[in-house]
Structure 1
Amino acid sequence: MGLSNEEVVLRCVGLGVLSHVCYFVHGEHTLRAPLYVKTVVLGPPAFSVLLTRLSFLTFWQAVQVTALGCLAYLGGIFVSMLVYRTCLHPLRRFPGPWLAQYTQFYHFFKVKDKIDNYRHLARLHAEYGDYVRVGPNLLSVADPDMIGVMFDRDTKFEKADWYDIGYPWTSLTQIRDKSLHDDRRRHGWDAAFTAKALRNYDARIVKYADQLVAQMCRRSGEVVDAARWFEWYSFDIMGDLAFGRAFNAVQMGQSHIYIDTMHETSPFPLGCLATMPWVIHTMGSIIPDRLNPFMRLVRYSAECIEQQKEKAQIAQKGKTEPAEPDIMTQILNKGPFFVDDPKRDDLLLVGDARLLIVAGSDTTAAAITCAFYQLAKDESHVLKLRAELDAEGIRNDGNLTVQKLHKLKFLDGFIRETLRLYPPVPGGTFRNTPKEGVVINGQALPGGVKVIAPQYLIHRSSKAFEDPDEFVPERWTTLKDRLVKKDAWFPFSTGKFACIGKQLALDEIRAVVAKMVLEFDIVFAEGETGRALLEESQDIFTMVMAKLNLCFIKRGINTG
């Protein structure tokens, strides 16, 4: 005897509830999401055909029963999910928008138009306080005391599933296993960023800073989009230092297809869907490679790796060292990381190649752009920087070195303050709380939930910095009483997973700021206020900066 429609519905609803309670509530599902989607799409037609062959039902009757059962099953899952997220979820007691507790798509619809994730979080924290439930299983914490607990070297917090976005092209930063991450860092990465290695990069940093100065000399007094030029400068440096393969964007005065492709393809997935890594991973899995613009970045990264392998082989045969060492060569010289799995090793290298270029460029470019916004806004900073450079006898000539800039305290404070007010990763990174949970300032954070600590908000917290919205470089030098909680400054993250390229990024910023203030007066172009930069720049995990129209006027030239 067959089942009635009512019996089919009841059984499938019960099965849906059981699936949610016993399976979907537990663990992570990002990497399995493509399989779920394919099952939902392809499963019902296949089941209809099977049901036709194994029963006395006609095909259309089988389709009807299958559709009814599938809808009931999915309905059971969603009803169970809504009840759980409302009444039983560990984050249920934290305040936040009521829709956010039910679906992460609430976040998507709030940020999709302006790609302004960190500003959206700022609005929520202004309304709900330091601890806000911004998704069904996502808590945003703007408490400065969170930093030590979350990023301490001995922390029990773990990287969340956001780091699986790039799978299978996993990079160093996306390795979630702590011991494996440490092993990978020791496999060439640490050697490529020692103090000695950094000194080998200094001359090339200065070379690209000189190229930028030369280009601005040709455009003295003209309106230029400074954000684009600083972007090209940082990408040129990382292309050269990573692979000995510069993009030549500054020299040519135009962008490179890799830079354009990255910024054209990243805003929607990384800017809108970053809180739903399963969607990004699913999209990447089901879109054919020939239609997926992300694959252009993968192919370029793979080309860079192959070129470096060939160079390394030639050097080994000739028993010579490269004239200008690069980062990837030092990693390759260590040999395969996954010795028994060449395919996985190749995927890791491609992921690392993309990491070197993107993470080492976008972040630095954003910081430099914001630094020059402040220089154009307040000439006193320019004058103080020049006075400090003059006091040390530093001129924009062949004797200017990155090493000489390390001793400049105001320059260091100026850069630190820029990174405080305008952190290059403003929305923060995703972590899972330890199973036993954690208590911060009396707030009990449950175990096994996802949290973020937005850099933008913590850097502007009055609990950490006096007059937090004011740009005061001296708070790092002569006005240290304005540092309430110095440890709350973490633009490069901190602890075990701190950015390995921190010192390199600081050197790039030091060089271009020093050379430009020595060479030019820096002013806003007519009509420029910085509004677009502050309100229209896009948060795609790193920042893609909006236009900043400046005039770089050669010093000593009378423009009147």
Structure 2
Amino acid sequence: MDGIFQCHVGGHGCKLAEALLNKVDHLTTTPRFLVAICAFSIIYIAVGVIYRLYISPLSKFPGPKLAAATLWYEFYYDAVCKGRYTFKIKELHQKYGPIIRVSPYELHIDDPDYYHVLYSYSSARDKYRYYLEPFGFPLSAFGTENHYKHRLRRGAMNPFFCSRSVTQREGLVHRLVHKLCEHMEQFQVTGKTVPLSLGYTCLATDLITSYVLDEGSKCLDTPEWLPHWRRALRSLSEMVMISRQVIWLLQILKHFPQDWATASNPGLGFFFELEEQCRQRIDQIQIDRGKDSWSTEKEISRGYTLIDQILDSRLAVEEKTPDRILQELRSTTAAGVETTSNALTVITYHLLNNPNKLQRLRDELSTLGDNWTCEPQGQELEKLPYLTSVILEGLRLSYGVSTRLQRKSPAQVIQYKQYYIPPGTPVGMTSVLMHHNETIFPDSYKFVPERWLDLMERRRLERYLVSFGKGSRRCVGQRLAQTTLLIAIATIFRKFELELRDTSKDDIEIGRDLFVPRPKNMKSIGLQYAQLLIGQTYNQITASSPNSVALSWMRKFPDADLIRYFAPGNHELVVVNSPRAFREVTFTHAYAFAKPKFLKRMVGDMTGRGLFFAEGDVHRSQKKLLAGPFLNSNVKNLLPVFNLKADELCSSLGVEVQNSKTGVIEISSLISKSTLDIIGQAILGLELDGHSFARELAQYYHTIFSSTMISRIMLLLNTWVPIRQILPMRTNREYINANNMIKQILKKHVQERVHEIRNLHRGGSRSPARDILTLIIQEQLKSCDECNEDEIVDHLRTFLAAGQETVGTTLIWALHALASHQDVQDRLRREVRAIDNGNGNDVKYSDICNLEFLDYFVKEVLRCYPPSTCSMREAVHDISICGKLIPAGTPVLMFPIMPQSNSIIWGRDSEKFDPSRWESLPSTARDAYAFQAFNTGPRTCLGKSFAMLEIKVLVMKLVTRWRFCHVSKPVVLQRIGLLFKPANGLELKIEPAFFT
């Protein structure tokens, strides 16, 4: 009976549950449910905002309402504006007073005399969990929220970092500083610029790892001092600031494979190596200490480590786990590297930038004797008043941690003037605001060591020097850092005569707060600051043209040689900006840079794998073989072809104008057909309208050069992920088929031409044809009996793809310029008609060369509207460009528009279209590397003479017969692509040009 009853009740229960689920499912699929969810969300947010603004215990504190209402206010200044909230807080204090509300939950105070109250030695002060979570060290003393637990963990480490322990290990500091000096001597011998900020980072890394682990990371022994490591440290601090605003981001990043992280940021590989080194050291020491044969003598013989200190402390057993010790090592290492190296960099810059202060320091250091290898003790150096003052002033201007450090009183109300701060409320103060308080530190942004010389005044000022913090949570490694600064500065400036290179105050002075200070320029090589996760990709995709972002960088840093920016995954790229840098990349070290692999995926199908992708000796030999056919003597033989096709284009325009009621013509398609016809006849020796397979070739090229949005997106995606062969989309199928058919057509044509030329050779005669293909085959047959037909096909694909689109795009912009500048059009027409008397007859090559204004006009079109948006390279090995290290594998981008629009090079009107400027160029613009439309160096465009002659003939013929005028329709630029061209073609009003 029980079984039957249970089944019966169970059956009714199942039916009831099913009915309820059906009802819920019905509700959740109706619009009412969605409306209810939206309404509830709005009410929830509104109630929360009302509570924060009017009911919260913090509502009585002054400050901006938006900051009190939402964390998005802080997010905007720190994540979107990249570390600017500290400076906004300073503005808010000026507006609202010394205490303000900076978030829904947090207060900030700007009162130097209150610092010792907030950061008290005697009162309990917890940390703010919201600010601790992004660091990922919850078990370390640094990451401990609770005041009392922190005291236990910190107390276990204090003996290891006390003055006595640091004094005993001063020899370690001296050894590492001497090693740094030895490497600096090597730079001195070679004449290279010393990247001293990198050296300081390596010094600080080796010092802290040697000090806490008794085995260093040996950064100073690496070539070029590990620039990736310094950039990784900066990236990590940036990520901490971002993750603080978007905490779930950190959880996602924690689950990324290390290989992925290392690929996106090579410096993280060294970070993972350090972590593994710490882990292995912990395991080894615990194994050693567990052995019966363990003794204090063995411990001393291998060196006492922070691991030993924690294991020997009175902490509970659960506080001595490998995971907790590892977190302690990680936090100690991270804290010891950035702050110390930054202080050394700041001090060095200000000394070199102030010769009088540097000389005063040197005079004082001379009292130590001439032998710089002697090792004065830290206590001896502290007795040198000016050296000590220099260190203190450097600490003031390097800030230590620049962000606000929040503290909470867990149980007691804190009083500030008339305000009572509830228990548990995070309250912060900031070293940047403290150190730039003009009442305490007059001329606070100037480097003035003299302010510290008077002993009584020094004691007063040290009360407000908070680079190491104050109270029970002050920096545990303060004594080690101070000793390092004293020894390093004293040793380096006793030994070396230094001068600044490519460094300004904007590279040093704080401009952003990313937990630690970052300079205004934020550059190890130029600056471009990364957007969240995706780098500059979003800006580039949404820009009005492929050149827009690059132009904005050039305008911001017109005198920078190189500009760094970030791609997705924090992947670093370098942009060449100055003629000096272009010279080094394209000429001096041309073969130290190769075409990146992703470029082959991007355009390899269109251009083939011929000369365009050849490298090193292969490129040299191929260029030598192909140079002959493109000599001026051969190119000018193609003038009849150019004249013929230019006349045909003029006639086609006449037909279009006659058929149009308004005279408004979309000219892009006509120009594209004309340039493809010219390429077909001049390169292949084919009349594309005269052969069926040649017409097919033209159709297939039209397919692969399709500029629809889908095709451009596919081009961009295939750059990073080879999806062309995978996605079963119509666009992909047509693109793949067109490329395959082009290869087949060209291969067949090459075979026929080779057979024809060989037959002529056997008969003792040469082909009368002067097309480029014939000349290439003849050149190959000179050197060997066999022709590499596949190689020739690849070369032809390069010429056809590059020659047709770039010349066509240039001609479109030439007509746009003529329509925009009627005075230029009239002057050009007069010059051309003076040669041919207005009858439109073909002109001689020598006559074209004498048309100066035509030459100026074409060059100005190429300067203002370079058809190719960007050329890409990748460093084959570590190399120095303009004194900046470019690590192996770093993509290097060259935008012709950047040097060609730079006002420093071309003058204040650099972005104005003015062909007359070429009559008298400034000396800076006469630099061959200031004009990059055809590239420079060994990879200069092989078809430069061909293209210039073709463009000139087409412009001559067109301007002689037709007048071009603008229409009201604006020109919309193609946003994504390798070419700078109008997205929807170009419409112009065209009418006959009457003889004047």
Asked if these proteins are the same fold (TM beyond 0.5), I'd say: yes
**What is the RMSD computed on CA atoms of the aligned residues?**
4.0
Is residue 201 of structure 1 aligned with residue 638 of structure 2?
yes
Residues 484, 544 of structure 1: alpha-carbon distance in 2 compared, 3 angstrom cutoff:
closer
Q: Secondary structure at the match of 1:545?
A: coil
Residue aligning to 2:902: 461
How many residues were matched structurally?
471
C-alpha separation in 2, matches of 1:185 and 1:351: 13
Q: Secondary structure at the match of 1:521?
A: strand
Partner of 1:504: 946
Which runs of structure 2 are paired with 1:461-480 in the superposition (5 Å)?
461-466=902-907, 467-478=909-920, 480=922
Q: Judge conservation of contact 2:612–2:798 (CA < 8 Å) in 1.
A: no
Q: For 1:48-70, what per-residue CA distance to the aligned partner results, in whole angstroms no more than 9, with x for missing partners?
A: xxxxxxxxxxxxxxxxxxxxxxx
Does residue 239 in structure 1 map to residue 683 in structure 2? no
Match of 1:119 in 2: 548
**Which residues in structure 2 correspond to 1:120-519 (within 5 Å)?**
120-126=549-555, 130=560, 131-135=563-567, 136-152=571-587, 155-161=590-596, 162-165=598-601, 170-187=608-625, 189-220=626-657, 222-248=663-689, 256-264=698-706, 277-279=719-721, 282-284=722-724, 286=726, 291=733, 293-318=735-760, 319=763, 321-335=766-780, 345-393=788-836, 395-426=838-869, 428-433=870-875, 435-440=877-882, 443-466=884-907, 467-478=909-920, 480=922, 483=925, 485=927, 487-519=929-961
C-alpha deviation, 1:260, in angstroms: 2.3
CA 1:471/1:93 → structure 2, altered by over 3 Å: closer, same or farther? closer
The runs of 5 or more residues in structure 2 that have no matched partner are: 1-252, 272-522
Letter in 1 for 2:902: S
**1:354 offset after TM fit, Å?**
1.8
CA distance in 2, matches of 1:273, 1:88: 34
Q: 1:246 to 1:83 in 2, by over 3 A?
A: same
Question: C-alpha separation between the residues in 2 aligned to 1:80 and 1:494?
Answer: 34
Q: Secondary structure at the match of 2:933?
A: coil
Alignment partner of 1:78 is 2:260: yes
TM-superposition CA deviations, 1:516-552 (whole Å, max 9, x none) = 1111222123x23xx32xx423552234433211122
Rounded Cα–Cα distance in structure 2 between residues aligned with 1:338 and 1:278: 40
Measured at CA, do residues 265 and 338 of structure 1 come closer, stay the same or move farther in structure 2, by a change above 3 Å?
Answer: farther
C-alpha distance in 1 between matches for 2:896 and 2:737: 30
Cα distance change on mapping 1:350 and 1:316 into 2, 3 Å: closer
1:225 deviates by 1.0
Matched residue type, 2:919: T
**SS of corresponding position for 1:432:** strand
Q: Which has the higher contact order (CA 8 A, sep 6+)?
A: 1
Q: Deviations over 1:175-223 (max 9, x none)?
A: 3422101211233x22221222112211001100000111222334621
**TM-aligned CA distance change 1:461 to 1:72, over 3 Å:** closer
Which of 530, 537, 549 matches 2:974? Answer: 537
With normalisation by structure 1, the TM-score equals: 0.73
1:44-95 Cα deviation digits (max 9, x unpaired): xxxxxxxxxxxxxxxxxxxxxxxxxxx9996343355567467969x97753
Task: Report Cα offsets for 1:16-63 as digits up to 9, x if no partner.
Answer: xxxxxxxxxxxxxxxxxxxxxxxxxxxxxxxxxxxxxxxxxxxxxxxx
Q: Which runs of 5+ in 1 are unaligned?
A: 1-70
Equivalent pair of 1:362/1:544 in contact (CA under 8 Å): no
Kindly state the Cα deviation for residue 414 of structure 1 after the two structures are TM-superposed: 0.6
SS of the residue 1:380 aligns to: helix
1:429 is matched by which residue type in structure 2? S
Given that residues 522 and 552 in structure 1 are in contact (C-alpha distance below 8 angstroms), is that contact kept between their aligned partners in structure 2?
yes
Q: What SS does the corresponding residue of 2:670 show, helix, strand or coil? A: helix
Taking the aligned partners of 1:212 and 1:119, their CA distance within structure 2 comes to 32
1:540 corresponds to which letter in structure 2? G
Cα distance, 1:117 vs structure 2: 2.9
Deviations 1:475-520 (A, max 9, x none): 1124556836453111000110000100111111111111111112
Q: Is the 8 A contact 2:835 2:843 kept in 1?
A: no
1:554 partnered with 2:968: no
Rounded Cα–Cα distance in structure 2 between residues aligned with 1:186 and 1:418: 30
Compute the displacement of 1:272 (Å).
Answer: 7.0
1:209/1:511 contact within 8 Å kept: yes
**In 2 relative to 1, CA 482–214 (structure 1 residues): closer, same or farther, beyond 3 Å?**
farther
SS in 2 for 1:330: helix
- The AA in structure 2 aligned to 1:182 is R
Kept in 2: contact 1:124–1:132 (CA 8 A): no
1:274 Cα deviation after fit: 5.4
Shift of 1:125: 4.9
Output the CA distance in 1 between the equivalents of 2:839 and 2:845.
12
- C-alpha spacing 1:159/1:388, structure 2 compared with 1 (3 Å): same
Deviates more, 1:215-224 or 1:496-505: 215-224
Partner SS state of residue 231, structure 1: helix
Partner deviation per Cα, 1:96-139 (whole Å, 9 max, x = no partner): 34347x557x62x5445678332233345556775131321311
TM-score (norm 2): 0.43
Aligned to 2:59: none
Cα distance in 2 for partners of 1:143, 1:493 equals 14
The alignment partner of 1:333 has SS state of helix
Distance 1:114 1:236, change over 3 A: farther
Residue of structure 2 equivalent to 1:56: none
How many angstroms apart in 1 are the aligned matches of 2:259 and 2:751?
50
CA–CA separation in structure 2 for the residues paired with 1:519 and 1:494: 35
1: CA distance between counterparts of 2:687 and 2:543?
Answer: 32
5 Å-filtered alignment, 1:77-116, equals: 77-81=259-263, 84=266, 95-99=527-531, 103=534, 107=537, 109-112=538-541, 116=545
Provide, for residues 340-388 of structure 1, a one-character-per-residue CA deviation record: whole Å limited to 9, x for no partner: 999xx55433322221111001111111111111111111111211222
**Corresponding residue of 2:333:** none
Aligned residues: percent identity? Answer: 17
The code of the aligned residue for 1:333 comes to: Q
Post-superposition Cα deviations, 1:446-503, rounded to whole Å, max 9, x if no partner, equal 4542211211122111121111111111111245568364531110001100001001
Question: Equivalents in 2 of 1:96, 1:85: separation in Å?
Answer: 18
265 and 286 in structure 1: CA distance in 2 versus 1, 3 angstrom threshold? farther
Structure ID, larger Rg:
2
In the alignment, what sits opposite 1:58?
none
What is the distance in 1 between the residues matched to 2:947 and 2:957? 16
Aligned equivalents of 2:255 and 2:648: distance in 1?
Answer: 63
Which amino acid in structure 2 is aligned with residue 506 of structure 1?
Answer: M
